[in-house]
Structure 1
Amino acid sequence: MTEDFTGWREAAERALYGPEGFFVREAPGAHFRTSVHASPLYAAAVAELLRRVDEALGRPAELALVDVGAGRGELLTGVLAALPDEVAGRLRPVAVERAARPAGLDARVAWRSRLPGGGLRGLLFANEWLDDVPCEVAETDASGVWRRVLVARDGTERLGGPVGGADARWLARWWPAAAGPGARPEPGLRAEVGRPRDAAWRRAVAVLERGLAVAVDYAHTAAARPPFGTLTGYRDGREVRPVPDGSCDLTAHVALDACAEPGAVLLPQRTALARLGVAGARPPLALARTDPAGYVRALARAGQAAELRDAGGLGAHTWLLQPRGVADPLAGPGPPGA
């Protein structure tokens, strides 16, 4: 039997979002741990960011919060619980997710399979969404020529034709190993061609008339692209071989500098969270004597904050902040230790 080979973008689109796709069937939180699932402090930080955006917008009668790649609505649920009543009363929360609306979700949350129309004022937040926007994978052949990587449903790969057109221009601009007229990169290098992520992010940002769009993901910049790519799979909390059969998540780190539009800011997650008041300092030991229960609660919060800010884990995420008609609400040096 001859295997059918396609580009990775087509294969991943089918495997993740087709009728029997991984994200259509599975709750992401059952397979991998994101900042949203790690601690309610993350939702509280997003609520604080939303409050700052609200102030920058002059506290409009309707304040939008669009969660792109909403999973099962966990982030929106946490943000609603953390907001002051006055702000929550004006909030119009929207979840964008291809899976069906989960049972029991707060009735205030609108559930959509596509981005809402434009003209919104507020915050658009995309936590670990762009890494699951499928893109082509390229590899250099024995002559150093970038070729499309073709893949079968069982994960078998082979090299296809040379990368051309807009994808070739993207590699030349954003993946330095491909740059340089007359120069050839060494054989065996891999790259994820992030052009679909750039386009997806532009569409997401465009729904805001004014406010702030934020993408949070494992990312890299042109100064430190991974030489062999980052494509991998996740299932049941473990990294697995990326096989496009719908059995696992298929993810690759994001070239967020390519996504960024003029005026955007890139920050490490640990810095962004510090500026939103998420600190990892342990409570003073004296509190254990005067308020033992309060000490235990404060110690638990400090542990959760430390996980969110850990440079070797979730703290390694990068935040892309794209203001639209407002000042950057995270501008400034932040507290010590940011």
Structure 2
Amino acid sequence: MTWRTAMRQALYGEGGFYRRGERPAAHFRTSVHASPHYAEALARLLAHVDEALEHPPRLDLVDIGAGCGGLITRIFETAAPGLAGRLNPVAVELAPRPPSIPGPIAWRTSLPDAITGLVIANEWLDNIPLDVVELTPDGPRTILVDPTTGAERPGPTPSEEDLAWLDRWWPLKDPGDRAEVGHPRCAAWSAVLRRLERGLAVAVDYSHVRDARPACGTLTGYRDGHAVPAVPDGSCDITAHVALDACATAGTGSGATASSLTTQRQALRALGLTGIRPPVALAHRDPRGYVAALCRAGEEAELIDPTGLGGFGWLAQTTGIPLPDPLAAAGRCG
């Protein structure tokens, strides 16, 4: 079968990896698991959005691909007091609602029809199923995969839609070059922007841009904290990096009025995370405070490490409001 079909079955089919409620933290490390300061930075971003919207009577906070709900719970619990009574937190996730989720957080399997506020898609787009195309001596071919073993072989010529996307966003140059056809991710992101009446949508993910696409693609699996071969049998997470520049263009076509495409390092530094170690003198005046500040600095440093989590892409797009100042300072596109 095609990789897109195989991924859909392995991740979201009956008994699939995410359908059965696997805990992401058991298989791979994300910013959410690395530090609570990630959610605190997003809570500050939520406050910026609320101000830009002039404090609406209902402020939506939507977490797409909420996993176990840790991110939206932390943002909800640390949100500014001025949002009390107005904040409408919604987790969008196919897995069952965990019992630990606070009652005010709605749990649903589909996007709300209309959103005014902040949408966060943290490592969601990389799990949208897609096809893989390889350039062979006979031209581009859609790769077929055996879902039980991961063995591959060249299949049919890609569809016109696939070829058009590849020509614009990921041209294949030499035999053996492979590409992951990203238009399903573009369509998924477009669906978010169409529902965003006013506010900000942020996608955070492994990513690449047109001038730096990897020649061999990025398809891989994760299980028990390790990268493993991408075998779409439901036993592991299947992921591929996201062409966020293509998603940005799709979002603009669906109503986005301002865009920023930057790195997590730049975005989080603009939101106040620095990773700066406390002065050693503090250890003599306040040993406990020094240890706490040192731990915080270490966690922040991991979140903004340019060779790790800090290298993730941040696509931020607004509808009806300007980009919040921190994201406007971090970078702009379109």
TM-score, length-scaled by structure 1:
0.93
Query: How much has 1:69 moved relative to structure 2?
Result: 0.4
CA–CA distance in structure 1, aligned partners of residues 84 and 278 of structure 2:
30
Residue matched to 1:167: 162
Distance 1:248 1:155 in 2: 12
- Is the aligned partner of 1:114 residue 2:110? yes
Identify which of 133, 138, 161 aligns with 1:138: 133
What's the offset of the Cα at 1:321? 0.4
Q: State the one-letter code of the partner of 2:205.
A: D
Q: Which residue matches 1:273?
A: 268
1:234 correspondence with 2:222: yes
The aligned counterpart of 2:255 is none
- Identical-residue share of aligned pairs (%): 55
Structural mapping, 1:2-41, within 5 Å: 6-25=1-20, 26-41=22-37
What does the per-residue CA deviation read over 1:67-92, in whole Å, with 9 as the maximum and x for residues that have no partner? 00000100011101211222133110
Q: CA deviation at 1:286?
A: 1.1
Where does residue 310 of structure 1 map in the other structure?
A: 305
Partner of 1:161: helix, strand, or coil? Answer: coil
Query: Corresponding residue for 2:316?
Result: 321
Which of these residues, 274, 282, 287, is aligned with residue 282 of structure 2?
Answer: 287
Distance 1:80-1:223 versus aligned 2 partners, 3 A rule: same
Q: 1:49 aligns with which of 45, 49, 57?
A: 45
Alpha-carbon distance in 1 for matches of 2:85, 2:56: 11
CA contact (8 A) 1:80 1:88 kept: no
* Match status 1:81 vs 2:77: yes
- 1:154-206 CA-to-partner distances (Å, cap 9, x unmatched) read 211111011131110000000133xxxxxxx2111110000000000000122
Given the alignment of the two structures, is residue 65 of structure 1 paired with residue 61 of structure 2, yes or no? yes
Amino acid at match of 1:313: G
1:101 is matched with which residue: 90, 97, 101? 97
Which structure 2 residues correspond to residues 193-208 of structure 1 after superposition, within 5 A? 193-208=181-196
Q: 1:259 corresponds to which residue?
A: 247
Structure 1 letter corresponding to 2:108: R
Quote the offset at 1:103 in angstroms: 1.0
Distance in 2, matches of 1:205 and 1:102, equals 28
Of 145, 148, 151, 2:142 maps to: 148
Structure 1 residue 216 and structure 2 residue 204: aligned?
Answer: yes
Q: Does the 8 Å CA contact 2:316/2:327 hold for their aligned counterparts?
A: no
Separation (CA, whole Å) in 2 of partners of 1:46 and 1:205:
19
Moved over 2 A (4+): 330-334
Amino acid in the other structure paired with 1:165: E
Q: Which amino acid aligns with 2:213?
A: R
Match of 2:33, SS state, is helix
Question: Structure 1: which 5+ runs fail to align?
Answer: 1-5, 178-184
The DSSP-based 3-state class of the residue aligned with 2:282 is helix
Q: Residues 260 and 327 of structure 2 are in contact (CA less than 8 Å); yes or no, is this contact kept in structure 1?
A: no
Give yes or no for contact 2:43–2:80 (8 Å, CA) kept in 1: no
Distance 1:302 1:322 in 2: 29
Question: Hey, what's the Cα distance between the residues in 1 that align with 2:273 and 2:84?
Answer: 21
Q: Which residue identity does 1:147 align to in structure 2?
A: R
Q: CA deviation at 1:331?
A: 4.2
Gaps of 5+ in 2: 253-257
Equivalent residues of 2:133, 2:142 under 8 A apart: yes
Distance 1:43 1:308 in 2: 11
Give the distance between the partners of 2:328 and 2:182, measured in 1 at CA: 30
Structure 1: distance between partners of 2:100 and 2:183: 37
Return the TM-score normalized by structure 2.
0.94
Alpha carbons 1:69, 1:127 under 8 Å: kept: yes
